Structure 1
Amino acid sequence: MLLPETTPPVWSVLQPLTGPHSDGLPYLPATPATTSWGRLPSDADAPVMSVDPGTTVVVDTVSHEGILEDQGADPVAFFGRHGVTAPEVLADAIAICRSGTHDLTGGPHVVTGPIEVRGAQPGDLVAVHMGPLTPRTHYGIISSRHNRGLLPARFPADGPVSSTFCLLTDPGTERVQATLPLHPTQAERPIRFPIQPFLGTVGVATPGERKHSVPPGAHGGNLDIRLLVTGTTLYLPVQVPGAGVYVGDPHFAQGNGEIALTALEAPLRATLTLDLIPAAEAQARFGSISGPFALTPEFLVPTGLDPDLDEAVARCGENAVTLLGAMFGVHPEIAYAYLSAATDFEISQVVDLVKGSHAMIRRSDFAAVAKEFTR
């Protein structure tokens, strides 16, 4: 017997300390003691885990959506209004919500960490290799609030916050999609789009005051680059001894731009390998690049960050020229010409106070001069 499309699928919710988190790998759950809410770790924060370079770890992340004060600070009640039963609400989300640890002078994000990478020093690069990024729930939220989206004069249209509930379909298959109704009052969910889980926040600790969780920077942080899916690597310049890696702001999906302030926010269990590239080697391989950059199986991805979008794109262009010269020996004039003819410069996001741009440089275009990347 075929069930109607509106029947919720049966999902296995990944509660803390359950499911695939062992296999001999270090596991970091999300608890009030292992997370920061609103601000990012600094050099004053003791690591909640310490690992050697090259170690693979499993980290639980919790989404801020559903636990925030403007959503009632009660995830069981909030998600219950959308048909989610109490056992399907994550216990760690409930515990963090009740902990009173939200620094209201900061942002909304919950990040897990910091993780010390032993031997890391300022000037080095930490390479965060993205392994499996597993959804912990079958639901998530897209929110508009704070008059900070792309169209703040229009959205949210009714009240200070709009939280759109998304439900996933086809559990346990490769056809998992997110679904939406055509109208908030309708039950059927004919809008379907693929999920591509990634971590919106991946960063390293900074010296001095703990940074606000919203604006990204040289430390990484809330980059919101949707390319950072399983199989990609993000490179971050170490700011303090030990690096202090943290992750959070998990997404099931996002479009470039993230125009409504958030995308499809929902919790993930992340398998990450943390590697270290010493300063001299980093300089020789990548040049004097400013800020984070990434490698996917297909693309080299420099970034640019600035409150002004024009300047963010310009900084991305500068970093692209630098990387092409250091990695492939391309003369700056040729690199500039190539980038104009063959590379897409994308808007990562326009809603995080500091705007982001990233370029998508095809690695295959440099196959004749490409070097092997082992870490």
Structure 2
Amino acid sequence: MPEVIFPLDSTKKFEDQEKVGHNRWHPEIPPVATVKPGDVFRVHCREWFDGAIVNDDSAEDILNAPLPTVHKLSGPFAIEGAQPGDLLVVDILDVGPVPQEDSGPLAGQGWGYTGIFSTNNGGGFLTEQFPDAYKAIWDFTGQVASSRHIPEVSFTGLIHPGLMGTAPSAELLAKWNKREGDLIATDPNRVPPLALPPLPQDAVLGGVPQSDFDRVAGEAARTAPPRENGGNQDIKNFSKGTRVFYPVFVNGANLSMGDLHFSQGDGEITFCGAIEMGGFLDLRVDLIKGGMDTYGVSENAIFMPGIVDPRFSEWLAFSGTSVTLDGEQKYLDSHLSYQRACLHAIDYLTKFGYSREQAYLLLGAAPIEGRLSGVVDIPNSCSTVYLPTSIFDFDVRPSASGPHQVESRMAAPMAKNK
């Protein structure tokens, strides 16, 4: 086993560990360890809410999820010799749930969860149609996930980190805060908000000195969106065997990671749409000196997908176009067309006895594929959702005999907006 350079004790909260990570982006958060190009090492990761979501049949914890506290990131890790303008090469050698702990109160100890966030607490891709909080618990058997809350379905997980990235420079951080603040100002009272500004409350900043803490907390960026440094990209193909090339903006690069997922559909459409868990990452790092200019990677990572994708031979695909539910035509709106494709898949699955919320949770957690199928044929963009048929215990294809009805078991727990 590689050397563990960031251990986590499952009996302690994230902030009480021997080494403390962070939940904001800032160039002044000091590294917790230094590695050399070519080094192989292991990092433990806590799920993004640090145990606030529990294995039960209630969704009250999703309704009241402490969004300002996320993400609980492991790191930063300095890479010896890394300088601004370099490319940091990160190989994901292995990734999995909490090692040797297949039961316990933390997600990753033999189980994980998917949530639909309420509109008043972050919302999701389809928050206008699904404004309330729901939850599904998934049990892990080896690499297979199944849920008491979504019957007659199971699938092999494509395990991956939802979040990994390098630290921003002070200039890049200021750019983020300016452009996101300008966006918020266009509709400051929107629910959910258009963006998440710096928030000193609940900031975890690792080893930042107390004398600088308030200033750094007031400047540091939230970790919710993806940005030029990578960050919360939620790409399901960041699995075992992936190689990522990250831009370096500060000396040492200061690499951080977390938000592990047992499985996820393209888009993580419920916002807490993956099967969230804690676990471990085995990594190897290297540098390409001056690589940002050499390869034109001045912003946003490029990557080579992993090598362990589940192999599906048959799919049922749903399409959508850029027309609203009210029949209003929009111009080549691919975001809207993907929403419509997802809603068509949800409507279809309800014919088999699933509730709309169960179907929505399933699309977030299962390894569906989302594709931009047409983006040039004015005025309609066309997006598609590919649903693997083999994840169901029954034949989900249309047939003359009509849709199978799933066995009525426990519904997905709900907590209504208050």
Instruction: Please report the TM-score for the alignment, with normalisation by the length of structure 1.
Output: 0.58
Q: CA deviation at 1:233?
A: 0.9
Does the 8 Å contact 2:259/2:276 carry over to 1? yes
The aligned counterpart of 2:24 is 39
Q: CA deviation at 1:290?
A: 3.1
The aligned counterpart of 1:196 is 158
Rounded to whole Å, the distance in 2 between the matches of 1:287 and 1:66 is: 37
Rounded to whole Å, the distance in 2 between the matches of 1:167 and 1:24 is: 27
Does the 8 Å contact 2:30/2:76 carry over to 1? yes
The aligned counterpart of 1:267 is 278
Rounded to whole Å, the distance in 2 between the matches of 1:220 and 1:191 is: 33
Confirm or deny that 1:296 pairs with 2:299: no
SS of 1:275's equivalent in the other structure is strand
Q: CA deviation at 1:79?
A: 2.7
The aligned counterpart of 1:214 is 224
Aligned pairs (5 A) from 1:245-256 = 245-256=255-266
Rounded to whole Å, the distance in 2 between the matches of 1:239 and 1:311 is: 31
Matched letter for residue 257 of structure 1? G
Change (3 A) 1:165 1:26: closer
The aligned counterpart of 1:79 is 55
User: Among residues 112, 117, 120, which one is paired with 2:82 in the alignment?
Assistant: 120
Confirm or deny that 1:177 pairs with 2:144: yes
User: Among residues 51, 56, 62, which one is paired with 1:67 in the alignment?
Assistant: 51
Confirm or deny that 1:164 pairs with 2:149: no
Confirm or deny that 1:28 pairs with 2:6: yes
Q: CA deviation at 1:195?
A: 0.5
Matched letter for residue 274 of structure 1? V
The aligned counterpart of 1:55 is 39
Rounded to whole Å, the distance in 2 between the matches of 1:182 and 1:109 is: 26
Q: CA deviation at 1:28?
A: 1.2
Q: CA deviation at 1:207?
A: 2.8
Does the 8 Å contact 1:109/1:249 carry over to 2? yes
Matched letter for residue 276 of structure 2? E
The aligned counterpart of 1:233 is 243
* 1:43-101 deviations in Å (ceiling 9; x for gaps): 21111010111111100001135733xx5xxxxxx33669xxxxxxxxxxxxxx9xxxx
Change (3 A) 1:297 1:196: closer
The aligned counterpart of 2:129 is 154
Does the 8 Å contact 1:107/1:213 carry over to 2? no
SS of 2:168's equivalent in the other structure is coil
Identity %: 27
SS of 2:293's equivalent in the other structure is helix
Rounded to whole Å, the distance in 1 between the matches of 2:114 and 2:297 is: 37
Change (3 A) 1:115 1:310: farther
Rounded to whole Å, the distance in 2 between the matches of 1:232 and 1:261 is: 23
Change (3 A) 1:218 1:35: farther
The aligned counterpart of 2:287 is 276
Confirm or deny that 1:145 pairs with 2:121: no
Does the 8 Å contact 2:50/2:72 carry over to 1? no
The aligned counterpart of 1:13 is none
The aligned counterpart of 1:12 is none
Tell which has more relative contact order, 1 or 2 (C-alpha 8 A, sep 6+): 2
Does the 8 Å contact 2:230/2:246 carry over to 1? yes
Q: CA deviation at 1:181?
A: 3.5
Matched letter for residue 178 of structure 1? A
Does the 8 Å contact 2:2/2:41 carry over to 1? no
Q: CA deviation at 1:253?
A: 0.4
Long gaps (5+) in structure 2:
9-13, 59-64, 99-108, 171-218, 308-331, 336-368, 373-418
Matched letter for residue 128 of structure 2? A
Q: CA deviation at 1:37?
A: 5.0
Rounded to whole Å, the distance in 2 between the matches of 1:248 and 1:277 is: 24
Rounded to whole Å, the distance in 2 between the matches of 1:144 and 1:51 is: 38
SS of 2:280's equivalent in the other structure is strand
The aligned counterpart of 2:190 is none
Aligned pairs (5 A) from 1:351-366 = none
Long gaps (5+) in structure 1:
1-22, 72-77, 83-96, 184-188, 299-308, 313-343, 348-375
Does the 8 Å contact 2:162/2:260 carry over to 1? yes
Rounded to whole Å, the distance in 1 between the matches of 2:157 and 2:2 is: 28
SS of 1:253's equivalent in the other structure is coil
Rounded to whole Å, the distance in 2 between the matches of 1:345 and 1:219 is: 24
Q: CA deviation at 1:162?
A: 2.1
SS of 1:193's equivalent in the other structure is strand
Rounded to whole Å, the distance in 2 between the matches of 1:245 and 1:222 is: 13
Does the 8 Å contact 1:181/1:190 carry over to 2? no
Does the 8 Å contact 1:234/1:294 carry over to 2? yes
